[in-house]
């Protein structure tokens, strides 16, 4: 136990030495905010409790949301925070996964130089876990968003794709529909042909105008030309990029010829690679995977990374993090402060060191 | 002693008793009508435990009963690792009930979970909160919707009269057990074409964790030989 505590303190002190202010968010968090951010899925992953006065509360499933709130309420810009404590995760499928564990984290709010901020957080974490020889994986949700925005499709289709970036299967199904690869369902065809009538009275809160609006949207969608084969191939090529960073960048630069909208996002990755290199990271051997981070909780929207123990594929990442500008936009009520952060799980470090 | 847990009342109890009777094992309630005590005839060493069908999963998983009769829906919803905790021994051919996802019949634009997802996104924009689905089978419904890629919904708990929640405007859609579909129709609801979450029926389960003495093993084998 003392060994674990020593490690937690050492990590926290390392982050304080990097300029972070120590914060201590409460364990109980109002459930409505987390539900609003993550949707119903959070209930499968967080413990919910309640009292008659405050209503539903959650045992914090992570520190990021309360830290962002704290910063939005009274933080200076730029700001760096660190925290250490337990998070709680419901486990319904795998009894071997811990349902409470320690996290030590570092969050950086600074809009002046995003590439430098990304590199600062990554390098700090890489250094802290360096004795364990972990494999680092990186990605960028921003490039996927840029790709979606750059397709020659309606805003409605773009919004549908953007909404499902974090659900790869649904994302694929939408692409197949937009490109005409999957057939129109029979009932949809009947609806579009005006053959779906009903004499049932409308009950509930969803109004007739909402039904009519969706039918109009479906008709507009049916009239839209399919997503071109060339763009589909380009998107597939992007989703399949998995290389060391210099080769990945070369591939993505090539893809910009077919999808020029990618260019600003690829330039951001160029800048990040330089900033990482300036921090002493061996970018020539750093893995980049365009699809990385798509199945995690949906708040990262830029740089994403994780550190994995290669000899223990059964373990979750020892450290992970990323950029979450959109989350600060949602929580800041119009205000937005670019932010990037990461957490380390000291318990997993202990486990791996014990085995070494 | 082998402990057999069966539903303590209603049609489910009657049908269970008949199913065992046909196989040469007589189950009966003893004492007054209101007393939950029972006896077993036709085999020695088996004790009858009368309890609510909803409690059978927990008792099986806790190893407090060796065999139990309850629906597939309740086992799957209450025991996340049910395959490790219980083993299905026989489907009993009654208590058929499907857990389904249903929406107002007047929603002619919604026929698939794909449509529900799109409608949910628009609903959230229009109303400022997530489309609500009333159910008591939270885990099953959530897993199903996650697999189907439906987002922007919220589950609201409904322990009864779930079909009425839409008309009462406490939910926009429901996920509930139906056998004939009559209640759904009467409440102007329709099942989504790909909205079958689970097909359930009364099933005899064996606990994988209940302790067995040597004598119990003999009795259990004898009982299962009669039943299966």
Check whether residue B220 and residue B174 sit in a common domain: no
Choose among A298, A347, A310: nearest CA to A45: A298
The residue of B85, B128, B145, B149 whose CB has the most chain A CBs within 10 angstroms, and thus the best one to mutate to test that interface, is B149
Nearest CA in chain B to A38: B152
CA quadruple B110, B111, B117, B118: dihedral sign: negative
What was the pLDDT predicted at A39? 82
Nearest to A93 among B80, B111, B171 (CB): B80
Check whether residue B134 and residue B86 sit in a common domain: no
CB–CB contact A200 B139 (8 Å) = no
Q: How far apart are the first and last CA of chain A?
A: 19
Question: Which of chain A's residues have a Cβ under 8 Å away from the Cβ of B166?
Answer: 203-204
A163 vs B: CB within 8 A: yes
Thinking of the domain A2-134+309-355, which architecture would CATH place it in? 2-Layer Sandwich (3.30)
Check whether residue B122 and residue B166 sit in a common domain: yes
pLDDT above 80: residue A174: yes
What was the pLDDT predicted at A334? 74
Check whether residue B45 and residue B55 sit in a common domain: yes
Domain harbouring B172, CATH code: 3.40.190.10
CA distances in angstroms from A356 to A100, A353, B86, B140, listed in the order given: 24, 5, 38, 41
Domain span at residue B71 reads 2-95+201-227
Check whether residue B123 and residue B159 sit in a common domain: yes
What was the pLDDT predicted at A355? 62
For the stretch B41-81, pLDDT in tens is: 999 999 999 999 999 999 999 999 999 999 999 999 889 88
Higher pLDDT, B158 or A330: B158
What was the pLDDT predicted at A329? 86
A213 vs B: CB within 8 A: yes
For the stretch A181-217, pLDDT in tens is: 898 888 899 999 988 888 899 999 999 999 999 999 9
Strands (DSSP E) found in A159-259 = 242-244
Nearest CA in chain B to A166: B149
Nearest CA in chain B to A39: B152
CB–CB contact B105 A218 (8 Å) = no
For the stretch A108-144, pLDDT in tens is: 999 899 999 999 999 999 999 999 999 999 999 999 9
Nearest CA in chain A to B142: A41
Report the phi/psi class of residue A132: left, alpha or beta, with left for phi > 0 and alpha for psi in -120 to 50.
alpha
CA distances in angstroms from B173 to A102, A339, B65, listed in the order given: 39, 38, 37
Is residue B65 helix, strand or coil?
coil
A193 vs B: CB within 8 A: no
A191 vs B: CB within 8 A: yes
pLDDT above 70: residue A356: no
Residues of chain B with pLDDT under 50: none
* Cβ pair B47, B40 in contact under 8 A: yes
Choose among B104, B127, B130, B106: nearest CA to B117: B130
Check whether residue B126 and residue B143 sit in a common domain: yes
What was the pLDDT predicted at A1? 54
pTM of the predicted structure, to 2 decimals: 0.84
- Between CA A296 and CA A313 the distance in angstroms is 17
With bands split at pLDDT 50, 70 and 90, how would you rate the model's confidence at A341? very high
The domain tally of chain B equals 2
pLDDT above 80: residue A283: yes
Check whether residue B101 and residue B157 sit in a common domain: yes
The residue of B85, B106, B114 whose CB has the most chain A CBs within 10 angstroms, and thus the best one to mutate to test that interface, is B106
B46 CA to chain A: closest CA distance, Å? Answer: 33
Can you give the residue ranges of every domain in chain A? 2-134+309-355, 154-197+207-228
Nearest to B155 among A40, A188, A191 (CB): A40
pLDDT above 90: residue A4: no
How many CB contacts within 8 angstroms connect chain A with chain B? 105
Nearest to B121 among A163, A201, A213 (CB): A163
Check whether residue B16 and residue B65 sit in a common domain: yes
What was the pLDDT predicted at A276? 98
Check whether residue B172 and residue B219 sit in a common domain: no
Which of A93-97, A323-327, B111-115 has the lowest average pLDDT?
A93-97
Question: Which of chain A's residues have a Cβ under 8 Å away from the Cβ of B111?
Answer: 185, 187-188, 191
Check whether residue B178 and residue B205 sit in a common domain: no
For the stretch A26-58, pLDDT in tens is: 999 998 888 888 888 888 889 999 888 888 899
Q: Dig out the tokens for B170 from the structure.
A: 């406490």
ipTM: 0.83
What was the pLDDT predicted at B31? 76
CB–CB contact B80 A92 (8 Å) = yes
CA distances in angstroms from B37 to A164, A354, B18, listed in the order given: 54, 55, 18
What was the pLDDT predicted at A297? 61
Alpha helix ranges (H) inside A99-154: 114-129, 141-150
A88 CA to chain B: closest CA distance, Å? Answer: 18
Average pLDDT, chain A: 92
Average pLDDT over residues A347-352: 94
CB–CB contact B169 A204 (8 Å) = yes
Check whether residue B57 and residue B117 sit in a common domain: no
């Amino acid at each position: 136990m003392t060994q674990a505590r020593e490690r937690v303190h050492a990590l926290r002190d390392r982050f304080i030495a990097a300029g972070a202010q120590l914060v201590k968010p409460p364990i109980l968090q109002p459930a409505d905010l987390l539900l609003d951010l993550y949707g119903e899925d959070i209930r499968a992953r967080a413990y919910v409790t309640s009292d008659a006065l405050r209503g539903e509360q959650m045992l914090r499933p992570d520190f990021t949301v309360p830290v962002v709130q704290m910063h939005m309420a009274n933080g200076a810009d730029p700001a760096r925070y660190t925290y250490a404590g337990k998070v709680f995760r419901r486990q319904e499928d795998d009894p071997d996964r811990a349902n409470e564990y320690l996290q030590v984290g570092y969050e950086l709010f600074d809009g002046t130089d995003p590439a430098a901020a990304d590199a600062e957080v990554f390098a700090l974490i890489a250094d802290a876990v360096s004795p364990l020889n972990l494999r680092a994986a990186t990605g960028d949700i921003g490039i996927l968003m840029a790709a979606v925005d750059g397709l020659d499709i309606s805003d409605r289709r773009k919004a549908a794709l953007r909404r499902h970036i974090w659900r790869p299967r649904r994302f694929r199904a939408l692409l197949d529909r937009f490109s005409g690869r999957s057939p129109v369902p029979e009932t949809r065809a009947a609806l579009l042909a005006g053959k779906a009538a009903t004499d049932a009275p409308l009950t509930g809160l969803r109004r007739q105008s909402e039904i009519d609006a969706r039918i109009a949207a479906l008709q507009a969608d049916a009239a839209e030309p399919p997503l071109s084969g060339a763009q589909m191939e380009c998107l597939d090529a992007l989703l399949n990029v998995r290389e060391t960073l210099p080769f990945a960048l070369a591939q993505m630069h090539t893809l910009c010829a077919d999808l020029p909208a990618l260019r600003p996002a690829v330039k951001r990755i160029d800048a990040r690679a330089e900033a990482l290199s300036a921090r002493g990271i061996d970018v020539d051997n750093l893995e980049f995977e365009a699809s990385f981070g798509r199945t995690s909780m949906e708040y990262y929207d830029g740089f994403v990374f994780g550190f994995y123990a290669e000899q223990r594929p059964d373990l979750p990442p020892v450290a992970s993090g990323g950029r979450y500008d959109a989350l600060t936009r949602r929580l800041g009520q119009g205000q937005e402060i670019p932010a990037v952060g990461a957490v380390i799980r000291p318990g997993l470090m202990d486990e791996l060191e014990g085995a070494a | 002693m082998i402990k057999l847990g069966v539903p303590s009342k209603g049609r489910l109890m009657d049908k269970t008793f008949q199913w065992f009777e046909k196989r040469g094992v007589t189950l009966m309630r003893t004492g007054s009508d209101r007393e939950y005590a029972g006896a077993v005839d036709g085999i020695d060493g088996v004790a009858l435990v009368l309890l609510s069908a909803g409690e059978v999963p927990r008792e099986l998983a806790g190893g407090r009963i060796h065999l139990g009769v309850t629906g597939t829906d309740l086992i799957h919803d209450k025991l996340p690792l049910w395959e490790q905790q219980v083993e299905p021994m026989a489907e009993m051919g009654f208590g058929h009930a499907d857990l389904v996802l249903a929406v107002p019949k007047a929603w002619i634009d919604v026929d698939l979970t794909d449509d529900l997802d799109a409608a949910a996104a628009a609903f959230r924009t229009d109303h400022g909160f997530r489309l609500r689905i009333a159910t008591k089978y939270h885990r099953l419904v959530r897993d199903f919707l996650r697999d189907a890629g439906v987002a922007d919904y919220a589950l609201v708990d409904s322990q009864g009269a779930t079909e009425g929640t839409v008309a009462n405007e406490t939910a926009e859609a429901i996920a509930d057990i139906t056998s004939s579909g009559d209640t759904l129709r009467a409440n102007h609801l329709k099942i989504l074409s790909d909205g079958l979450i689970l097909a359930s029926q009364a099933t005899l389960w064996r606990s994988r964790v209940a302790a067995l003495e040597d004598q119990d093993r003999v009795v259990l084998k004898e009982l299962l030989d009669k039943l299966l």
